[in-house]
Structure 1
Amino acid sequence: MSNAKKSPAAASVSASPCTLTNGESSNVGERTTPSDSSSPCSTSSSSGMQKHCGTSNPPTAPSPAETLLTRVADERYPARVATIAAQITAANDQPTVHTLFLEGVTALGATSAVFVSFVRDDGDLAACRFMLACDPAWARIYVQEGHFVHDPWLAYAAHHSEPIVASALNLLDNDHRRVIDLAARAGFVSAVLVPAHSGAGHSRISLLCLGSATPGYFEDAGLPRLRVSARMLALELHDWWLARIRRDLIAKARITPADLVLLQHECQGHSSKKIANEMQVSKSSINSRFQRMNAKLGVGNRRMAVQLAVEFGLILK
C-alpha cells in the first residue's frame, strides 16, 4: 500500500456515500475515503464518487394548461430568475443556496430538477455533489446502481457548454436507456440539460437538469428564452460551489497569501533562483518553502501544486 499523501481536495477514492440532508455537509470540497461509509447509501466504483445531496420538496407544478411558451411569455419571467440568481453569490451557507435553487427552478417553470457539480480527471468522473428538487429515492438508486458511469447527460456536460433538450441526445446502449428510464420515473419525462464550465482545464463542471413530468414540455417554442435564464442560474450555482471549495481548500491546507505568491511564480515558469532574487531571500529558502507547501497540499512536487491551485481557482494561469 502506498504511503503517498493525498491532497485534501484531490485524493482518489473508491467509496461513494450519499448524504441526503437539508443542512450543511461536513466535508464539502473533500473526497471521501473507503472507510467513510457511514451513510446507509453507499457503493463502490472505479470512479469513486462523493455525493452531497440537499433535498426538499419539489418545485410547484405549473397548471395543467400552462405550456413552456406561455410561461416564458410573461415579461417578468427573466427578471424573476435574475433576482434569484443574483442572491446566490452572497449566500453564506448551503441551505440558503439550496432554497434559492428551489426558487429558481420554480421560476423557470420546471417541476423537478437536479444540480450536479463534478470533477473530470483524465476523462473519468472522480467526484460529484448533488442538490435535488425531486424524489430523493432517485438519488439513492442512481448511486447504488452506479448509473453515473453510464449517464449520457453527464457525458454531454463534460464535453459541451450549450444547453440542450435531453431528447436530442442519442442513446447508444441499454445502459444509457436505464439511466434515462430512471430519470423519467423521477419526473424527468421531458428535460433540459444546462452545463456550466469554468476554470483552467475545464475539469470542474456543473450540470443543471430541469425536468417535467409532461411529455414534450421543453420541446416547445419557449425553449430559447428558458435557455438564457437557466444558464444564468446554472452559472451562479456553479460559481458559488467553486468559491466554497476554494475557501475550504485554503482553510484545510492552511494556505497563506505568501504561498499563493510562490505558486503564481511557479505557474509563470520562474526558477527558484529568480524567485529568490525577486523576494530577496536565498534559493534554499524558496526550495524549503515549496516543500512545506507541497506537504500541506498533499502533492509530490511544485508542478502538481500549481495544477491543483489553478484547478481550484487559487491562482490565475
Structure 2
Amino acid sequence: MEIEHFLPQDAYVALGKIARCQSEADVASLTKQVVLVLGATSYVYSTLTSDDRSNDRESYRYFIGCDPQWCRIYNERKWFMNDPFVEYSRYNTEPIIADQIVLQTSGQIEMLSVAATYGFKSGMVIPTHSSQSANERIGLLYIGVDAPADVGNQLMHLHRISYRALGMELLDWWIRFLRAEAARKFNLSEEEINMLQQVKNGAAVTELSAKLGITSSKLYRLLNVIQDKFNVDKIGAAVAIAKFNGLLG
C-alpha cells in the first residue's frame, strides 16, 4: 500500500484510510504518518482482552512506531505485568498525560524513565473501548513526544481529540481483523457466529430457536456442528474459545 503525504488539516482524511487497510503493516505505517503529522515522534498501540493478566499475554496485539529497543527492554523486564498505563486503560476512557498517572512501584518509575530515552520524554495515554466489547477488548494508544513536558504535553493536549479518533480507528480495525481471522480458523458461517453470540448473551434454547425460526431439535444439531468445529463437547466451551479469539462482542 502506498501511503500518501498529507498536510495536518488532512489528518481526518488519513484516519479514514485505516479502515480500508488489508494488512497490519499498512495500518502501522499509516498510523505512524498520522502521529508525525500531529506533532508527536513515537507511538505504541496495543489491544488486549480486559481480563488478560497472564504472563503469556495471549490476547495482546500491537502496532509499534518507536525505537524497537524500547519494546525489547519493556518485554525483557516484563513491565507488562504491572504497566500503569494498561491498568489505567482498563477502567478509564479519558486521555491523560502520562506523568499524571500515579506510579506505585519502583519498576513503574523505571519504565517511564527508560521510555523517556526512546522518544517518550512527554507522553499521553489514550484508552480505547468499543461498545461492541466494552468489558472484553480494550485498546491503548501511547503517544510520545521527544521534547520536555512543558512543550510536549501542550502539543499532545492540543491534538487529543485527533489521537482519540486514531485510537478508536485502530481498535475497530483490530476487532474486524481478529473476527475475520477467527472465522476462517474455525470455518464458521455468519449464522454460526450469530448463534454463538446469542448463547453468550444468555439466550435459552426455546428463545434462540424462535428467533431463528427453527425447531429445538434442529437447533441442537446446529450447535453440535459448532461444537465439533471447536473440538469441544459443550457449547459454553465453544463460546469461551470464540470470545477469546475475538469473534464475539
- TM-score, normalised by the number of residues in structure 1: 0.67
Match of 1:60 in 2: none
SS of residue matched to 1:250: helix
Match of 2:4 in 1: none
SS of residue matched to 2:153: coil
Is residue 82 from structure 1 mapped to residue 12 from structure 2 by the alignment?
yes
| Residue 171 (structure 1) shift | 0.9
Q: How do residues 205-224 of structure 1 correspond to structure 2 at under 5 angstroms? A: 205-216=138-149, 217-220=151-154, 222-224=155-157
Partner Cα separation in structure 1 for residue 169 and residue 187 of structure 2: 27
Could you give the per-residue CA deviations for residues 56-107 of structure 1, whole angstroms, max 9, x where no partner exists? Answer: xxxxxxxxxxxxxxxxxxxx74x32211111000111122111111111111
| Residue 314 (structure 1) shift | 4.6
Match of 1:35 in 2: none
Instruction: Choose the corresponding residue for 1:187, options 91, 96, 119.
Output: 119
Instruction: Choose the corresponding residue for 2:183, options 250, 259, 276.
Output: 250
Query: For residues 117 and 269 of structure 1, do their structure 2 counterparts lie closer, same or farther at Cα, with a shift above 3 Å needed?
Result: closer
Contact (CA 8 Å) 2:40, 2:143: kept in 1 or not? yes
Query: For residues 281 and 164 of structure 1, do their structure 2 counterparts lie closer, same or farther at Cα, with a shift above 3 Å needed?
Result: closer
Could you give the per-residue CA deviations for residues 28-72 of structure 1, whole angstroms, max 9, x where no partner exists? Answer: xxxxxxxxxxxxxxxxxxxxxxxxxxxxxxxxxxxxxxxxxxxxx
Could you give the per-residue CA deviations for residues 252-283 of structure 1, whole angstroms, max 9, x where no partner exists? Answer: 01111331343354356443345446656553
- Structure whose residues are more often helix by fraction: 2
Match of 1:143 in 2: 75
Is residue 166 from structure 1 mapped to residue 119 from structure 2 by the alignment?
no
Partner Cα separation in structure 2 for residue 177 and residue 166 of structure 1: 11
RMSD (Å), alpha carbons? 2.6
Contact (CA 8 Å) 1:88, 1:237: kept in 2 or not? yes
Contact (CA 8 Å) 1:190, 1:214: kept in 2 or not? yes
Runs of 5+ unmatched residues, structure 1: 1-75
Q: Report sequence identity in percent.
A: 27
Contact (CA 8 Å) 1:120, 1:126: kept in 2 or not? no
Query: For residues 274 and 163 of structure 1, do their structure 2 counterparts lie closer, same or farther at Cα, with a shift above 3 Å needed?
Result: closer
Partner Cα separation in structure 2 for residue 249 and residue 228 of structure 1: 32
Query: For residues 138 and 299 of structure 1, do their structure 2 counterparts lie closer, same or farther at Cα, with a shift above 3 Å needed?
Result: farther
SS of residue matched to 1:214: coil
| Residue 308 (structure 1) shift | 5.7
Runs of 5+ unmatched residues, structure 2: 1-6
Q: How do residues 190-201 of structure 1 correspond to structure 2 at under 5 angstroms? A: 190-198=122-130, 199-201=132-134
- TM-score, normalised by the number of residues in structure 2: 0.83
Match of 1:41 in 2: none
Query: For residues 228 and 203 of structure 1, do their structure 2 counterparts lie closer, same or farther at Cα, with a shift above 3 Å needed?
Result: same
Q: Which deviates the most, 126-135 or 100-109? A: 126-135
